[in-house]
Structure 1
Amino acid sequence: MPDRRQSLLDAALQLVGEGGLDAVTIAALTKRSGMSNGSIYHHFGSRAGVFAQLYADSYGRCVAAMLPALQAGSAEEGVRGLTLSYLDWVMANPSRARFLYAAPDHADPAAKMAEFAPVLAWFLDRMASGELRTVPPWALEPVAMGPAHESVRRFLLGVFDLALAREIVADAVWAVLKP
């Protein structure tokens, strides 16, 4: 039953938003969701299973929000569009973004790479054609998206106005990748 699974994930996300990862216990999930321990174990196997599925779900939504930017005409429009889409998703989904930053050890690396594959392919194609500076794939996220990630971290801490800075951040990411 996808509805029951989603209800449990929604309950976990609410608990994370209220008290961090430690707030998500099986007892708290049963109380918040109104479901039994058995339902939680049936659908996810464990607390770690809840986190793994919540991570996959949140990461998938984030990447899906970015994919339309891949249709941009120029490399600059694409890079800026990907960055702005990411920042806009974070502002619209702060609880999910906070979870992604707080729980990276719950990611399935292979699933994450598969989800990100269209974005990575877009970058690699533009690097190969000379439209973007060549950056090794392993360095793409920390080097190119560093300004975005640091801005998001500060936004999630409540000390940075991401809405005001989004264009500046997109400019910074483009500055790193322009040929």
Structure 2
Amino acid sequence: MGPTSRQAVLDAALELVAEGGLGAVTISALTARSGVSNGSVYHHFGSRAGLFAVLYGESFAHCVDALAPALGTGDAEQAVRAVVARYLGWVVGNPGRARFLYAAPRSADPAVKLAAFEPVARWFADRMAAGELRAVPLWALDPVVMGPAHECARRYLLHGFDLGAAVRLVADAVWGAVAPVG
């Protein structure tokens, strides 16, 4: 299975998730949608769970790559606000991947996820150490920093709410959670 076939299966999985959730992603639906053989899917991904693990890892890295440039935006407050805006922009621009990330079992290798997130975690750790941000345990970065953005993204994906109207409010909430105390 070449790179084109592999990508065809991943694209088919995202389309199927968008149309019918995780349950719609069956091997037979994947082969019908992607045009690859049943054996090719198993050969490359091993199983449906293997496909989900690859897709989760790739989608998570895609998301982090989209928000990471915000970390170079001005001071800590500007960067945190930009991270929120870029994340919500990524959700709007990549609803299939976002839906998958929210729906998928956390089946990706944790080391893959940690490696993708490492530049973001390092930026936050450095700013916390410098007193530019409130100290938050690194394990709590996602729920504390991105919790409000995640909830708005979920509501956008489920109900089509206007995320553009929420970006500033969410950025205010996130900055409030990590602004230095004092």
Q: TM-score range with shorter-chain normalisation?
A: over 0.9
Q: Which runs of 5+ in 1 are unaligned?
A: none
Q: Deviations over 1:57-89 (max 9, x none)?
A: 111110000111111220001101111111100
Deviation at 1:36, TM superposition (A): 0.6
Letter of the 2:173 partner, please give it: A
Letter of the 2:82 partner, please give it: G
SS in 2 for 1:106: coil
Aligned equivalent of 2:111? 110
Aligned equivalent of 2:52? 51
Once superposed, which parts of structure 1, at least 4 consecutive aligned residues long, lie more than 2 Å away? none
Aligned equivalent of 1:142? 143
Percent identity between the aligned chains?
64
Distance across 1 between alignment mates of 2:103 and 2:146: 18
Distance across 1 between alignment mates of 2:166 and 2:74: 24
Q: Deviations over 1:80-134 (max 9, x none)?
A: 1111111100011111101000014222211101100000000000000000011
Q: Which runs of 5+ in 2 are unaligned?
A: none
Q: Does 1:155 align with 2:156?
A: yes
Conserved in 1, the CA contact under 8 Å of 2:76 and 2:132?
yes
Bigger Cα displacement from structure 2, 53-62 vs 155-164? 155-164
Aligned equivalent of 2:128? 127
Bigger Cα displacement from structure 2, 150-159 vs 21-30? 150-159
> Are residues 3 and 159 of structure 1, via their aligned partners in 2, closer, same or farther at CA, if it must alter by over 3 Å?
closer
Conserved in 1, the CA contact under 8 Å of 2:70 and 2:82?
yes
Q: Please report the TM-score for the alignment, with normalisation by the length of structure 2.
A: 0.95
Superposition CA RMSD, Å: 1.0
Q: Deviations over 1:112-164 (max 9, x none)?
A: 01100000000000000000011111111112211111111111111532121
Aligned equivalent of 1:170? 171
SS in 2 for 1:15: helix
SS in 2 for 1:145: helix
Q: Please report the TM-score for the alignment, with normalisation by the length of structure 1.
A: 0.96
Deviation at 1:42, TM superposition (A): 1.4
Deviation at 1:13, TM superposition (A): 0.6
Aligned equivalent of 1:29? 30
Q: Which has the higher helix share?
A: 1
Distance across 2 between alignment mates of 1:104 and 1:146: 18
Aligned residue pairs: how many?
179
